[in-house]
């Protein structure tokens, strides 16, 4: 190692607080979260969480990407080919859906790059529950460990550049130094409430949560234990469940059937289900209108809800993903990856309204209008255009900006100047 290398190493900047975060340097830091429970209870069992995650993933996967070197767009580049076909098993759309899905469920996303020489040829998404971060004594990641079935694979992190063939993208977590926080954690109570209300409704349909009616013994008679057991078995086998709905009941021995309707408690549980559904959608940043949840009027129409979804949820997450890819994948090529948001229908509608406002404006220059549309300025464009019926005041006065009062009166009121 040369003199300048030793000098640079001594000049490396490190946080003094980072070192005290590490209890066992070189050992994996275990995540306290149960990823399997998140995946089962939220994504697999809760239709609101399932659809919210899918809508976010589908929105980001629908966006096309461009590669720029400075201000020049490159029509062809290895990075575009990589994102179009990240690996032999997945298309670009499938890959991004998996990336966003893992990030939403676990709060963490891990990507592996496979390089041949200096070129990245393949990308893979790694399951978050199988990955562990290995802290260094300096409080920075020293490596990543992937464990499956008792076998492990380790990737090292360059201590100088922090570069690695595994990239860890995480959502903000105020109480964990190494792992991100999933939206599922914020919406855990609402997800549980919605799941419980769905279980209650399922039990209601199966005649086990609340009786649809009661058998009443008339004339002061009573049933023997044998009669009671036989009647109970007959009801469970022949009259309970969705398959026996509407089947006529044959009563004997002075029995009478009394129907029961939904109680106020039953109706309250149904409303609680909708309330929990709205809270689950809120945790993921998806307007309830987009999920067909009744009782929410936050936005006046579907178009406003869709616009809010893109601006408040999709585009910020997309920006985080693109910036991470630029630092990890694009920087070695000396290029920049940019999303093409011009083709997004919701964004296009808003841009069209903005352009119409710019075109109708009477106090903006040509270049100011072009800037609002995202175009470069042109020579001679720093002038304001007005209609032919409007005449500048200095033209009326022959260059003298002082105009007699009677001429101003004539211009304003159409009266004849005296």
Confidence bin at 124 (pLDDT 50/70/90): very high
Q: What's the confidence (pLDDT) of residue 31? A: 57
Residue 262 has pLDDT above 90, yes or no: no
pLDDT at site 197: 85
Higher pLDDT, 397 or 373: 373
Residue 268: which pLDDT band, with cuts at 50, 70 and 90? Answer: confident
pLDDT > 70? residue 151: yes
> 166 near 144, Cβ under 8 Å?
yes
At 7 the pLDDT is 42
How far from 163 is each of 134, 158, 246, CA to CA, in Å?
14, 5, 67
Those residues with Cβ within 8 angstroms of residue 18's Cβ, 6 or more apart along the chain or in another chain:
138, 139, 140
H-only helix segments in 39-91: 47-61, 78-84
Distance from C-alpha of 349 to C-alpha of 355, rounded to nearest angstrom:
10
Give pLDDT tens digits for 205-236.
665 545 566 667 666 666 677 777 777 777 77
- DSSP summary character for residue 90: B
**Whole-number Cα distances in Å, 159 to 36, 154, 203, 298:** 32, 15, 57, 49
Q: List Cα–Cα distances, 223 to 232, 252, 253, 255, in angstroms.
A: 11, 11, 9, 10
Q: Give the range among 89-93, 98-102, 177-181 with minimum mean pLDDT.
A: 177-181
Taking the C-alpha atoms of residue 110 and residue 55, their distance in angstroms, rounded to an integer, is 21
| Pairing state between β 64-69 and 119-126 | unpaired
Q: Which residues contact 337 (CB under 8 A, 6 or more apart)?
A: 65, 66, 67, 79, 322, 325, 326, 329, 330
Highest mean pLDDT among 68-72, 291-295, 341-345, 413-417: 68-72
Helix (H) or strand (E) holding 108: strand 108-116
DSSP state of 43: I
Tens of pLDDT, residue by residue over 275-327, are 999 999 999 999 998 998 887 777 778 888 888 999 999 999 999 999 999 99
Give the burial string for 35-69 (b: 16+ CB within 10 Å, else e): beebbebbbeebebbebbbbbbbebbbebebebee
pTM summary value = 0.71
Q: What is the mean pLDDT of residues 327-333?
A: 93
Question: How far, in Å, CA of 5 to CA of 406, rounded?
Answer: 83
Q: Among residues 129, 107, 128, which one has the least CA distance to residue 284?
A: 107
What SS3 state is found at 238?
A: helix
327 Cβ contact partners less than 8 Å away, ≥ 6 residues apart: none
């Amino acid at each position: 190692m040369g003199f300048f290398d030793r000098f640079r190493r001594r000049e490396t900047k490190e946080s003094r607080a980072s070192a005290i975060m590490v209890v066992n340097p070189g050992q994996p830091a275990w995540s306290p979260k149960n990823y399997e429970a998140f995946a089962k209870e939220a994504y697999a069992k809760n239709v609101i969480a399932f659809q919210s995650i899918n809508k976010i993933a589908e929105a980001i996967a629908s966006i096309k990407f461009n590669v720029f070197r400075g201000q020049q767009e490159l029509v062809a580049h290895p990075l575009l080919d990589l994102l179009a076909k990240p690996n032999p098993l997945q298309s670009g759309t499938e890959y991004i859906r998996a990336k966003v899905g893992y990030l939403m469920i676990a709060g963490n996303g891990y990507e592996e790059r496979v390089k041949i020489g200096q070129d990245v040829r393949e990308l893979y998404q790694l399951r978050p529950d199988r990955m562990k971060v290995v802290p260094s004594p300096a409080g920075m990641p020293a490596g990543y460990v992937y464990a499956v079935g008792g076998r492990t694979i380790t990737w090292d992190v360059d201590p100088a550049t922090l570069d690695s063939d595994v990239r860890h993208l995480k959502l903000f977590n105020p109480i964990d130094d190494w792992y991100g926080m999933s939206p599922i954690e914020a919406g855990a109570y609402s997800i549980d409430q919605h799941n419980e209300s769905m279980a209650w409704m399922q039990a209601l349909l199966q005649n086990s949560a609340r009786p649809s009616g009661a058998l009443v013994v008339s004339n002061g008679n009573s049933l023997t234990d044998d009669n009671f057991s036989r009647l109970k078995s007959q009801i469970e086998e022949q009259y309970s469940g969705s398959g026996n709905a509407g089947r006529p009941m044959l009563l004997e021995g002075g029995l009478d059937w009394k129907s029961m309707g939904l109680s106020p408690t039953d109706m309250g549980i149904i409303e609680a289900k909708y309330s929990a559904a709205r809270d689950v959608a809120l945790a993921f940043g998806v307007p309830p209108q987009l999920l067909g949840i009744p009782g929410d009027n936050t936005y006046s129409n579907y178009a406003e809800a869709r616009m809010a979804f893109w601006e408040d949820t999709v585009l910020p997450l997309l920006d985080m993903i693109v910036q991470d890819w630029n630092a990890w994948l694009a920087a070695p090529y000396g290029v920049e990856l940019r999303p093409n948001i011009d083709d997004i229908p919701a964004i296009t509608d808003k841009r069209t309204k903005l352009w119409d406002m710019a075109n109708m404006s009477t106090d903006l220059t040509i270049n100011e209008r072009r800037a609002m549309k995202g175009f470069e300025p042109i020579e001679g464009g720093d002038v304001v255009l007005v209609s032919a019926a409007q005449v500048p005041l200095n033209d009326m006065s022959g260059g003298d900006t002082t105009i007699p009062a009677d001429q101003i009166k004539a211009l304003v009121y159409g009266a004849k100047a005296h």
